[in-house]
């Protein structure tokens, strides 16, 4: 199995999950080790995997790696919305050109691909909308990040239809858990509190995200790889809808702080209001069920992880906060 972006947050958690649950798999990880790909994420298992530092846009390298493996799980992506608003170009390179390069290698060598994507390709829902995203929801991306992920999904579908490539796609809601970069919402709030500062909330904090623990994402991806129908798309979600205000107040409460002890900052441009996933197809077809159905329990275990792993997140923290400060966030 070749895992692209395996030193990133969601990719590294999938590496751990697969090693634990499928010890017979031989795993190769390729990661460019940009700021979001951290070799320390994989330190405990480096002796059990083959690690390659490289770029998924490198045609020669991807051709060789894909030829040497049976299945490719494609996590590698530029994924932070704020960064895509500052500089969209790396998102086009990784998410569009990188996916194209992988697809061509898959086609040439007749291998199997699972493409990891996001619910953000569907745009957003109104707060009072009773609907949730399904596999048939029209694409309506709103940021450079989500539009390039939508483009990568469409490339996969085109290669399936035009060339008979063996591939599946999953679109997942917001992940949380260990090894997530401190620029992201939940770890940023936790680490701000750990460093003695008030956490910050965009706007009124009414924006709703559908949270899923990264271990549940990993178990769903493995289920799709082993039981999913080729050419199909599956939505991964754990019914974890919470608005940002609720999440920040839960974090404060669970860290023994006053739940109202946070600051409001100017909302980001084009901030999607609500994401919500209907994962009925995945559950009914493949029998998948999430393990972390209680969001607060999963959140507490995540707070514990960051509290106990300061050496992991501390090196990222200063540069991240400097960048946010420059942007006024």
DSSP letter for 329, please: -
User: What are the angstrom distances between the C-alpha of 161 and each of 35, 121, 167, 292?
Assistant: 35, 20, 10, 36
DSSP string, 149-205: HHHHHHHHHHHHHHH--EEEEEEE-EEESTT--TTSHHHHHHHHHHTT---EEETTS
What is the set of active-site residues?
119-120, 145
CA 45/CA 163 separation, integer angstroms: 36
Q: Would you state the structure tokens that stand for residue 270, as one six-digit string?
A: 């084009």
3-state secondary structure labels for all residues of 288-318: CCCCCCCHHHHHHHHHHHHHHCHHHHHHHHH
CB atoms within 10 A of CB 16: 18
CB atoms within 10 A of CB 89: 10
Please compute Rg for the chain using Cα positions. Answer: 19
d(CA 174, CA 169): 16
């Amino acid at each position: 199995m070749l895992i692209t972006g395996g030193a990133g947050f969601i990719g590294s958690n999938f590496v751990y999950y697969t090693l634990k649950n499928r010890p017979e798999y031989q795993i190769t990880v390729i990661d460019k080790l940009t700021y979001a790909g951290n070799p320390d994420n994989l330190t405990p298992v480096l002796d059990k995997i083959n690690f390659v530092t490289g770029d998924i846009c490198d045609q020669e390298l991807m051709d060789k790696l894909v030829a040497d493996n049976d299945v490719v799980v494609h996590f590698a992506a530029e994924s932070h919305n704020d960064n895509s608003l500052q500089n969209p170009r790396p998102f086009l390179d990784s998410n569009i050109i990188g996916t194209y390069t992988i697809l061509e290698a898959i086609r040439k060598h007749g291998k199997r691909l699972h493409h990891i994507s996001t619910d953000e390709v569907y745009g957003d829902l109104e707060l009072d909308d009773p609907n949730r995203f399904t596999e048939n929801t029209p694409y309506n991306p709103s940021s450079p990040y989500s539009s390039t992920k939508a483009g990568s999904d469409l490339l996969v579908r085109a290669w399936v239809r035009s060339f008979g490539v063996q591939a599946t796609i999953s679109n997942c809601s917001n992940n949380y858990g260990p090894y997530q970069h401190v620029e992201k919402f939940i770890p940023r709030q936790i680490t701000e509190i750990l460093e003695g500062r008030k956490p910050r909330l965009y706007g009124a904090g009414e924006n709703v995200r559908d949270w899923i623990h990264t271990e549940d994402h990993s178990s769903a991806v493995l289920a799709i790889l082993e039981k999913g129908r080729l050419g199909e798309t599956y939505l991964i979600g754990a019914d974890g809808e919470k608005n940002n205000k609720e999440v920040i107040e839960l974090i404060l409460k669970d860290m023994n702080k006053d739940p109202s002890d946070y600051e409001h900052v100017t909302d980001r441009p084009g901030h999607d209001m609500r994401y919500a996933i209907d994962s009925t197809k995945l559950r009914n077809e493949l029998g998948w069920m999430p393990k972390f159905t209680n969001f607060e329990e999963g959140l507490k275990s995540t707070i514990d992880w960051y509290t106990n792993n300061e050496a992991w997140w501390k090196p990222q923290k200063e540069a991240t906060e400097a960048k946010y400060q420059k942007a006024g966030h």
